[in-house]
Amino acid sequence: MESSTTPGGSTRREATRQKLYEAAVTLIAEQGFSATTVDEIAERAGVAKGTVYYNFASKSVLFEELLRHGVGLLTASLREAAERTARDGGSKVDALDAMVRAGLVFIDRYPSFTQLYVAELWRTNRAWQSTLMVVRQEAVAVVEGVLREGVDNGEFSDEIDVPLTAAALVGMVLVAALDWQAFQPERSLDDVHAALSRLLQGRVSGHR
Amino acid sequence: MESSTTPGGSTRREATRQKLYEAAVTLIAEQGFSATTVDEIAERAGVAKGTVYYNFASKSVLFEELLRHGVGLLTASLREAAERTARDGGSKVDALDAMVRAGLVFIDRYPSFTQLYVAELWRTNRAWQSTLMVVRQEAVAVVEGVLREGVDNGEFSDEIDVPLTAAALVGMVLVAALDWQAFQPERSLDDVHAALSRLLQGRVSGHR
DNA sequence: CTATTTGAACTGACTGGTCAGTGCAAAAAC
DNA sequence: GTTTTTGCACTGACCAGTCAGTTCAAATAG
């Protein structure tokens, strides 16, 4: 008795679900959702096919829950970075910079998830489209919040377009990080962070 | 004789190939490669299934040629923008700005292609992976070229990381544009361009 | 302590459907 | 008269989802 109903408990079920998430995320990142078979996922997770269906209603439900899970981790990490900077009395630029770093750390730790997220984000006509929209907005909203505070603050020009700039910043970090992973994995995180900071603070074309 | 080998000839064959490209690009952008069937592509193109196989060896060959075709258009457009600015005696910042605009125009005209490109770029283990790498490098190289000239020039700090900054810039434009198309399509191209220019020139956080 | 029961978790062979690619004869286009 | 397209039936592989049966750990009984 007890066990399966307990939320947050570390049951056997939770462990297999975790294994399935991990197997699915790498396979789908590599091959895409449709090209990945449930048999492959089960095999990679070291579990029978039936177990997948015991734990998830369908292949796409598995995927949707995976998305929610992953973006949840990302937003938490971004929010934490912003709050930490605020607590330490940093400026909004510092907060943005801390969030860039948090983004890089996340991508470094979960490269497959990021890959998969980017690949699916702009697809239309897919079952999980609405899930993805909601979840995307959560992440971008954290950045928008900091930008808006900076504008109210006087720290940022009030001419900036908050939603668009937030999206562009997220995109910058996402794409730079994926390129880093894919094409120059030997570089260090600090290195990549430094390059993006410079770009962010206008030290590329701003003065000098 | 003649006709199929001629590059740029406007044969009947070329016309059906073009129709197939257009049908395939929108369908694959919406659904992904694996979820798109050859029957769908043929139907959308208004052509018999046999014709697809008369013109392309396989579904993935069709896709690879599509990729080459599309990225060819993009690099040509970026290069043209950079050269035009140079000819008009513009600075390197002007050249970057012109390239940002050229990128936006391209994405505005071929949104499906862009969508599809981003979705496939960081996948591994796929047949066309090498094609994509080559083709990506061609596009990024144009931006790298301008950055490097600017550094030699003294116009940009020699501390910038050219490949990484180029990748980040491309990513910024790509993601901002896709977000624009997907989530706020009512905005004008000039609007989006202005927001990105501001970000590029460090007028967000640089000084006020 | 040992034996028995319970039910959640898991298994893997099986099914029904889908789809890439083929083959080909006849029609159209050039 | 040659090239290209059509239409359509067919095949064989592959795959999402199902289900009858098995495992196992914890609970209860003796």
Residue A137 lies in a domain: yes
| pLDDT band with cut points at 50, 70 and 90 for residue B205 | low
The domain boundary residue, chosen from A40, A56, A72: A56
Residue A112 lies in a domain: yes
Q: Which of A138-147, A175-184, B26-35, B148-157 has the lowest mean pLDDT?
A: A175-184
- Do B18 and B97 sit in the same domain of this protein? no
- Do B87 and B30 sit in the same domain of this protein? no
User: Which residues lie closer than 8 Å to A6 by C-beta, 6 or more apart?
Assistant: none
- Do A40 and A133 sit in the same domain of this protein? no
- Do B86 and B119 sit in the same domain of this protein? yes
Domain with residue B117: its CATH number is: 1.10.357.10
Please name the member of A34, A123, A178 whose beta carbon is closest to the beta carbon of B30.
A123
Query: Domain containing A159: what range?
Result: 63-200
Least Cα distance to B102 among B178, B179, B182, B189 occurs for: B189
Share of chain B residues as helix, strand and coil, in percent rounded to the nearest 5 = 75, 0, 25
Residue B162 lies in a domain: yes
- Do A114 and A16 sit in the same domain of this protein? no
Residue A135 lies in a domain: yes
Number of separate domains in chain A: 2
Least Cα distance to A76 among A32, A163, A135, A26 occurs for: A135
- Do A44 and A99 sit in the same domain of this protein? no
Please name the member of B34, B121, B174 whose beta carbon is closest to the beta carbon of A171.
B174
Q: How far is the CA of B21 from the C1' of C25 (A)?
A: 28
Residues of A in contact with B29 (CB under 8 A): 123-124
Cα separation, B12 vs A183, in Å, equals 41
Helix (H) or strand (E) holding B154: none
**Residue B109: burial class (beta carbons within 10 Å; 0-12, 13-18, 19+):** exposed
Residue B3 lies in a domain: no
Q: What is the pLDDT of residue B41?
A: 97
User: Which residues lie closer than 8 Å to A70 by C-beta, 6 or more apart?
Assistant: A25, A110, A113, A117
Selected residue with higher pLDDT from A26 and B12: A26
- Do A196 and A169 sit in the same domain of this protein? yes
- Do B34 and B126 sit in the same domain of this protein? no
pLDDT digit string, tens, across residues B11-28: 878 899 999 999 999 999
Cα separation, A50 vs B186, in Å, equals 47
Residue A47 lies in a domain: yes
Domain with residue B12: its CATH number is: 1.10.10.60
- Do B80 and B168 sit in the same domain of this protein? yes
Residue B205 lies in a domain: no
Residues B115/B29, Cβ–Cβ less than 8 Å: yes
Residue B68 lies in a domain: yes
Kindly tell me if the per-residue pLDDT of A78 is higher than 90. yes
Kindly tell me if the per-residue pLDDT of B51 is higher than 60. yes
Least Cα distance to B166 among B139, B198, B193 occurs for: B139
Note the Cα B125 to chain centre separation in Å: 22
Q: How far is the CA of A54 from the C1' of C4 (A)?
A: 27
Interchain CB distance below 8 Å, A31 and B126? yes
Rg (CA), chain B: 19
- Do A40 and A69 sit in the same domain of this protein? no
B192 CB neighbour count, 10 Å cutoff: 26
- Do A52 and A98 sit in the same domain of this protein? no
The answer to whether some atom of strand D lies closer than 7 Å to the beta carbon of B37 is no
Cα separation, A174 vs A196, in Å, equals 11
| pLDDT band with cut points at 50, 70 and 90 for residue A207 | very low
